[in-house]
Amino acid sequence: MKTSLFGKKCTTRAGIISLMDDLGRALAGAEDMIMMGGGNPGYHPAFQNLIKQRLLEIAESDELLRELVGVYDPPQGNLRFIENCAALLRREYGWDVGPQNICLTNGSQTGFFMLFNMFGGRYEDGSEKYIRLPLAPEYIGYTDLGLDNDFFITTKPRIDYLADRMFKYRVDFEALNIGAETGAICVSRPTNPTGNVITDEEVLQLLDLAHQHDIPLIIDNAYGVPFPGIIHTAATPVWDEQVIKCLSLSKLGLPAVRTGIIVAREDIIKSLSAINAIVSLSPGSVGAMLTEKLVGSGEIISIGTTMIKPFYQKKVEKALACVHRELAGTPYRVHLPEGAMFLWLWFERLPISSLQLYERLKKRGVLVVSGHYFFPGLQQEWKHTQECIRLTYSQGDDDVARGIAIIGEEIKSIYQQG
Q: What is the pLDDT of residues 313-363, one digit of tens each?
A: 999 999 999 999 999 999 999 999 999 999 999 999 999 999 999 999 999
DSSP 8-class letter at 24: H
Domains 5-47+303-417 and 73-298 share a fold: no
Which pLDDT tens digit goes with each residue over 10-67?
A: 776 555 555 556 655 554 555 578 999 888 899 899 999 999 999 999 999 999 999 9
pLDDT of residue 410: 97
What is the CB neighbour count within 10 angstroms for residue 144?
A: 17
Q: Are 339 and 223 in contact (CB under 8 A)?
A: yes
pLDDT of residue 6: 73
Number of residues that this document lists for the chain? 418
Contacts of 180 (CB under 8 A, 6+ apart): 127, 129
Residue 201 confidence class, pLDDT cut points 50, 70, 90: very high
Q: Are 356 and 414 in contact (CB under 8 A)?
A: no
- Tell me which H or E stretch contains 121: strand 121-122
Name the architecture of domain 5-47+303-417: Alpha-Beta Complex (3.90)
- For 73-298, CATH number out of 3.30.420.40, 1.25.40.10, 3.40.640.10, 3.30.1360.70 equals 3.40.640.10
CA distance 75 to 270: 9
Which pLDDT tens digit goes with each residue over 259-296?
A: 999 999 999 999 999 999 999 999 999 999 999 999 99
Q: What angle do CA 253, 254, 259 make, to 5 degrees?
A: 140
pLDDT of residue 150: 82
- The pTM for the full model equals 0.93
58-67, 114-123, 141-150, 261-270 — which is least confidently predicted?
141-150
Q: What are the domain boundaries of the chain?
A: 5-47+303-417, 73-298
Q: Are 393 and 342 in contact (CB under 8 A)?
A: yes
Average pLDDT over residues 197-214: 97
Residue 380 confidence class, pLDDT cut points 50, 70, 90: confident
Amino acid at 272: L
> How much of the chain exceeds pLDDT 90, in percent?
87
